Amino acid sequence: MTFNYPSSVSLVEVGARDGLQNEKAEVSTEQKVTLISLLAASGLKRIEAGSFVSAKWVPQMADSADVFARLAAFEPASGAQVTYSALTPNVKGLEAALSAGVSEVAIFGSASESFSQKNINCSIDESLRRFEPVVKLAHSNRIRVRGYVSCTLGCPYEGDIASSDVARVSRQLSEMGCYEVVISDTIGTGTPVKTARVLDAVMQHVPVNQLAVHFHDTYGQALANIHTALQLGVSSIDSAIAGLGGCPYAKGASGNVATEDVLYMLDGMGIKTGIDLSALLEASLYISDVIGRLPQSKVAIALRGG
């Protein structure tokens, strides 16, 4: 078998946003900034650091402006060229993000009509129309936009989602100007063959070097799916330090795939990332201590000692 394995992979660290947004423990602005600085110190170059949404709906991200202000202050000192991004669902959020000095933003569409209706209260098409001015304003400020597609490998309301629906939304986000489209397994029900089928369909419309994958590890399938994406040539992968994003003791809770476990696989496969595993472990143990539980990463558990 010959595969299109990439020689290097760009990891997008989403623990400080997608992860912490779904954790019950309170994490202070100071602690978030410490976490992000540890992540940057490990060699991560792309870090999702916050979300400019209503504090009423996502109280965990209410301090995102403060987080970005602090990041702007310490970044020059670190010397690293790190991209700190934020989720911006609308123009109002984007304006706040621009004021806070974000270096990249993300919007999020859904491949499932029911999920779109229940989650953002409008149809897929309407949601895409609402994103157009967001992308335009971002571009006029020389800010790149990433586009998430949720529920690509299953929907909590509809179950299976047609690959053609995923491909259509992906194409529209790409045509709208998103430099990268993120195929997301929101509920973690994806398995390898389905992953390959969906990616194949999307790749008919969006070049593989403009694709990323984002897996939740609810059913332990994330690494097998990521490996499948690598075989197809995908070279941009989302993950969250310590598998943040879901407490294993609560039903239905589903963390992101752990950055440590993804890195272990990539290192073992000889795929370059520029990230240092032992430095990453420091970040993992730090935030796990803050939220008061063990890392949801087998690599972190195995290597932490004790």
Q: Which two tokens stand for residue 12?
A: 């997008």
Count CB atoms within 10 A of the CB of residue 285: 18
SS3 118: helix
Q: Minimum distance from CB of 163 to its own copies (Å)?
A: 15
Q: Minimum distance from CB of 50 to its own copies (Å)?
A: 28
Q: Which stretch, 47-55, 56-64, 216-224, 234-242, contacts its own copies (CB under 8 A)?
A: 216-224
Give the DSSP letter of residue 159. Answer: B
247 catalytic, yes or no? yes
Residues 264-293 that bind its own copies (CB under 8 A): 264-265, 267-270
55 binds its own copies (CB under 8 A): no
Classify burial at 152, counting beta carbons within 10 Å of its beta carbon; exposed 0-12, middle 13-18, buried 19 or more.
buried
Contact pick of 261, 281, 285, 288 for its own copies (by CB under 8 A) = 261
Interface characters, 3-42, with its own copies (x: CB under 8 A): x-x-------------------------------------
194 binds its own copies (CB under 8 A): yes
Amino acid letter at 10?
S
Q: Which stretch, 25-33, 84-92, 131-139, 254-262, contacts its own copies (CB under 8 A)?
A: 254-262
SS3 253: coil
- Three-state secondary structure along 126-141? HHHHHHHHHHHHHHHC
Q: Minimum distance from CB of 211 to its own copies (Å)?
A: 16
Residue 43 has phi, psi (to 5 degrees) of 110, -5
Count CB atoms within 10 A of the CB of residue 128: 21
116 binds its own copies (CB under 8 A): no
Contact between 300 and 286 under an 8 Å Cβ cutoff? The reply is no
303 binds its own copies (CB under 8 A): yes
- Rounded CA separation 235/7 (Å): 8
Report the residue number, 196 or 208, with the smaller CB distance to its own copies. Answer: 196
Q: Please give the helix or strand (H or E) that residue 95 lies within, else none.
A: helix 91-100
48 binds its own copies (CB under 8 A): no
Catalytic residues: 247
Residues that bind its own copies (CB under 8 A): 1, 3, 5, 188-194, 196, 217-221, 223-224, 226-228, 231-232, 248-254, 258, 261, 264-265, 267-270, 294, 297-299, 301-306
